[in-house]
Structure 1
Amino acid sequence: MNVKKNASLLVMLTTIASMVAACTPGGGGSAPVETKQPTAAGATPTPSSNKNVELRMMWWGSQARHDATLKVIDLFEKKNPNIKINGEYMGSDGYFDKLNTQVAGGNAPDLIQLGNNYPDYVSRSALLDINPYMGKEINVDNFDKGNIESGAMDGKQYGIILGSNAFGIAYNTELIKKAGLQPPTGKWTWEEFGKYAQDLTKALGKGYYGAVDESRFPLYLNYFARQTNKTLYKDGKAGLGKEEIANWFTLWDNYRKAGSTPPAEVTAAYTEAPENSSFVEGKTAMHLIWSNQITAYQKLMKDEINVVLPPTGGSAQGLWLQPSQFMTINAKSKNPKEAAMFISFMVNDPEATMILGSERGVPGSSKARDALKASATPVDKKVYDYIDIASKNSRVPDREIPNGKEFETTLINMSQKVGFAKETIANAAQEVFAAAEKAIGKK
């Protein structure tokens, strides 16, 4: 009788143990099994997650960026089979309009690519403080302190930098040769830049122009203003006045009239993003681009491009090294841990960083930078070489103007109206200045 009781007890205990194992992650049944992935020497393994998770990720960029990012997502999913990431991507036009609609509707993606405008989304309580994941799910051991702090505000961490950039003047080497001119060195004033562009237009003939009209871009206006120790935004108010804005419009109006840049109707036909660019089409010889865009532009062009410093003027240095983008997490994400895991994977995994290269800028991780330099293509080498030059000719960046989308729209509209002679420079400058004050005044 005692034997039977002991046997029954043993069966019962075995059954209970099996049930417990089936309910434990990695313990059998239908639950996902943790798979350990090999990591590079000295690298921190990605923390495991055992539940089935589906994330949404949103970013903007060129086709080259889309392709690379999708490959990294696929690689992450293979190494973390229980996590699925659905990509939502588009060009820069309309990106923030779509994102703002989603934020307002409470259905923004888990992972959101943002630029230096991320403080706008912090003010809307749209971003998660990721400090609890730093040093755990998110490894920043190989990041410079400044790179980490670029994604922080008021003691909270809201994003991880995806790269650093600097803008410069890209030029079409074949058009320069065709015009019979020496390539630019980047050591030029605004006047010299305009004269060089004018000479290109004359030498190249009908249908060709020396430079793209860049008067509508806030970053370039800010660069111009910084050379006289002004800036778009400083200490909670507009950092430049109507006079500086008027000087900017006058500069480009003079270029236009001299033939240094195309007429307004040609300029209005292009966004000058890689996929819709007079520069890519070989109609203009020079164009202001970010260093991380060199690869995308070059892939679309048969002619070789090089990059030099933009024009200088005034008593101060205008250029700065700018964090290209940040990867952030939606404050309402139901799976922040898994989102944090992907961010760390994106900026640290040796395979992932090699796939992404410098398309989003020079990586924040020193280990990733060293690996990329060692295997750099000729085009990638131009990115690193230009960053080296730009870093020696830069000073600390300014905070971007808050709620800057409306300000940017006004600058674009006024630039076009001045170009088409539908508005005076004085009135256009007043409109742009008013738009800056309005944007800054918004809560």
Structure 2
Amino acid sequence: MSHRKTHFTLRTIASGLALSLALAASASAEVKLRMTIWSANEAHLKLFNGIAEDFKKTKPDVTVSFESLPFENYTTALTTQIAGGNAPDMAWIFETTAYDFVNSGALVPLTKTLSATPGYNLGDVAPSATERWSKGGELHAYPFSTSPFAVFVNNDLIKKAGAKTPAELIAAGQWTWPNAIATAQAVAKEPGKGGLVVRDFNYQAWQYLSSVWNAWGAAPWSADGKRCTLADKPMVDALGFIHDAIFTKKAIPGPGQNVDFFAGDAAMTITQISRASLLPKDKKFDWDLVPLPKGSAGDYAIVGQAGIGVLKAGKQPAEAAAFVAFMTNPANSAKLAQFFPSARKSLLNAEVLGKTNALLSPAQLDKVVVSGIETGKLMPGHTDFARLQQMVRSGLDAVWQPQADIPAATKAICAQIGPLLAK
């Protein structure tokens, strides 16, 4: 081999080595973040992925992906990933398990990162919205969704049944739980149709019944979380009303009955406005959105929350915290408010919400979303909630029988969970 050929070969090898090293350096510099979420809805994913793409424009070396886990066992799947050494960098956390995640130290404190982000304005976030996500003056997860429960209505089915629509009842000052159940009962008499569906309850996730029993001022435990109140009169009365609506009036689908409001098969459903994305695009039926009916305790509202937390067990906590700051900044909070109402005070008005929420009218946004967030109580939550949830669910099986002894069943539940609450 000539000297020239040897020189050329070495130069080629050196050049290839340099390129390989550069590619390796580039690969090692690339950051891949993963966030678990419960939703697999196309509209939600399109919104999230769009925010992730915008983030990548500011940080080209960071890629964010979203992993949808089934709603029914979301928290179990998430904690299994964490325990198995496959923790996501960020996670969507339900309000029911907020205390567990915050108090266990599993989450990276976010206050410093959010406060240091230009234009973030953490002071705009309502303190009442951060209570469940804070500890020791530190915010451990951002409450990106503060969403009131409301009633979606199928006016077509109700009118066909000759019943009064919620809008008519509201106009007459008669939007009460007994009248709501009367409307649901009328529709449910038609074969294949259901009355009122408490979405996601399914005789398993009993916490969603708080959207009903809070109308009686009922709660599963005391405000300090130390005493079981399931056997108290407000809860016994509320469960008695629900039981009658299920087994006597047939106005609420019974155990084992699956009725889908969004397919046009029920008069009403109670759920959060994030589920508006499930409404048929072709205006299959005339729908409405109204506040929860009035109960014996007067007007009330129930709010569900979801937080975004950065897992300490994740591989890139600093980069993950930076993405949470980007995802929940004022501009992106306005985008998210289309499905997930913001905890930012500046966004809590119908005019601002209406810019990104074409599905809902200003009146619906004002009466259901803004008013609900301002006055609503959070869904039940507690430390060791998964264990409590299972114990209460098992105990309520005795209530979901045609000839139930509700006082006896609720006393039995309190006897079981009382010692756990008192700890």
TM-score (normalised: structure 1): 0.74
C-alpha spacing 1:368/1:346, structure 2 compared with 1 (3 Å)? farther
Residue in structure 1 matching 2:230, options 219, 241, 245: 241
C-alpha spacing 1:299/1:91, structure 2 compared with 1 (3 Å)? farther
C-alpha spacing 1:148/1:177, structure 2 compared with 1 (3 Å)? closer
Match of 1:84 in 2: 63
Match of 1:199 in 2: 186
Q: Which amino acid aligns with 1:94?
A: N
1:125 maps to 2:105: yes
Match of 1:115 in 2: 94
Match of 2:210 in 1: 221
Structure 1 position 164, deviation (Å): 1.9
Structure 1 position 342, deviation (Å): 0.9
Superposed CA offset, 1:384-443 (max 9, x none):
552134357x2554762332233334444455554344864344323443454365357x
Structure 1 position 114, deviation (Å): 0.9
C-alpha spacing 1:112/1:210, structure 2 compared with 1 (3 Å)? same
Question: Separation in 1 of the partners of 2:404 and 2:411?
Answer: 11
Q: Which amino acid aligns with 1:293?
A: R
1:329 maps to 2:310: yes
Question: Separation in 2 of the partners of 1:188 and 1:239?
Answer: 31
Structure 1 position 222, deviation (Å): 6.8
Aligned residue for 2:106, secondary structure, equals: coil
**Do 1:295 and 1:379's aligned partners in 2 also have CA atoms closer than 8 Å?**
no
Question: Separation in 2 of the partners of 1:79 and 1:228?
Answer: 48
1:146 maps to 2:137: no
Structure 1 position 111, deviation (Å): 0.5
Structure 1 position 148, deviation (Å): 6.4
C-alpha spacing 1:334/1:262, structure 2 compared with 1 (3 Å)? closer
Residue in structure 1 matching 2:176, options 177, 189, 192: 189
Q: Structure 1 vs Structure 2: percent identity of aligned residues?
A: 20
Question: Separation in 2 of the partners of 1:168 and 1:224?
Answer: 14
Question: Separation in 2 of the partners of 1:29 and 1:98?
Answer: 35
**Do 1:120 and 1:402's aligned partners in 2 also have CA atoms closer than 8 Å?**
yes
1:58 maps to 2:49: no
Question: Separation in 2 of the partners of 1:65 and 1:397?
Answer: 23
Structure richer in helix, relative to its length? 2
Match of 2:275 in 1: 293
Q: Which amino acid aligns with 1:366?
A: S
Aligned residue for 1:88, secondary structure, equals: strand
C-alpha spacing 1:229/1:87, structure 2 compared with 1 (3 Å)? closer
C-alpha spacing 1:229/1:89, structure 2 compared with 1 (3 Å)? closer
**Do 1:137 and 1:340's aligned partners in 2 also have CA atoms closer than 8 Å?**
no
Match of 2:13 in 1: none
Match of 2:82 in 1: 103
Superposed CA offset, 1:234-253 (max 9, x none):
22313513144433332122
TM-score (normalised: structure 2): 0.77
Structure 1 position 334, deviation (Å): 3.5
Could you list the runs of 5+ residues in structure 2 that have no partner in the other structure? 1-17
C-alpha spacing 1:212/1:145, structure 2 compared with 1 (3 Å)? closer
C-alpha spacing 1:297/1:126, structure 2 compared with 1 (3 Å)? farther
C-alpha spacing 1:372/1:288, structure 2 compared with 1 (3 Å)? closer
Superposed CA offset, 1:188-232 (max 9, x none):
333222222223334xx2222322266843143375247437553
C-alpha spacing 1:317/1:426, structure 2 compared with 1 (3 Å)? same
Aligned residue for 1:188, secondary structure, equals: coil
1:93 maps to 2:77: no
Question: 1:19-418 residue pairs with structure 2 within 5 A?
Answer: 51-63=29-41, 64-116=43-95, 117-137=97-117, 139-141=120-122, 143-146=124-127, 149-150=130-131, 151-184=133-166, 185-186=169-170, 187-202=174-189, 205-212=190-197, 216=203, 217-221=206-210, 224-225=213-214, 227-228=216-217, 230=219, 232-238=221-227, 240-244=229-233, 245-262=235-252, 264=254, 267-270=255-258, 277-299=259-281, 302-315=284-297, 317-320=299-302, 322=303, 324-348=305-329, 350=331, 352-353=332-333, 356-362=336-342, 364=344, 366=346, 372-379=353-360, 381=362, 382-383=364-365, 385-391=367-373, 394-395=375-376, 397=378, 400-415=381-396, 417-418=398-399
**Do 1:212 and 1:284's aligned partners in 2 also have CA atoms closer than 8 Å?**
yes
Aligned residue for 1:250, secondary structure, equals: helix
Superposed CA offset, 1:81-103 (max 9, x none):
20122322123111011112223
C-alpha spacing 1:193/1:67, structure 2 compared with 1 (3 Å)? same
1:425 maps to 2:423: no
Structure 1 position 373, deviation (Å): 2.7
**Do 1:170 and 1:308's aligned partners in 2 also have CA atoms closer than 8 Å?**
yes
Question: Separation in 2 of the partners of 1:388 and 1:354?
Answer: 14
Question: Separation in 2 of the partners of 1:399 and 1:263?
Answer: 23
C-alpha spacing 1:403/1:201, structure 2 compared with 1 (3 Å)? same
C-alpha spacing 1:343/1:239, structure 2 compared with 1 (3 Å)? same
C-alpha spacing 1:68/1:238, structure 2 compared with 1 (3 Å)? farther
RMSD (Å) for aligned C-alpha atoms: 3.5
Superposed CA offset, 1:341-392 (max 9, x none):
2112212274x45653421224637369765533541337544552134357
Superposed CA offset, 1:265-291 (max 9, x none):
xx4243xxxxxx521232221111112
**Do 2:211 and 2:270's aligned partners in 1 also have CA atoms closer than 8 Å?**
no
**Do 2:37 and 2:69's aligned partners in 1 also have CA atoms closer than 8 Å?**
yes
Question: Separation in 1 of the partners of 2:306 and 2:164?
Answer: 35
C-alpha spacing 1:342/1:140, structure 2 compared with 1 (3 Å)? same
Question: Separation in 2 of the partners of 1:121 and 1:199?
Answer: 44
Aligned residue for 1:200, secondary structure, equals: helix
Q: Identify the range of structure 1 (245-254 vs 423-432) with the bigger mean alpha-carbon deviation.
A: 423-432
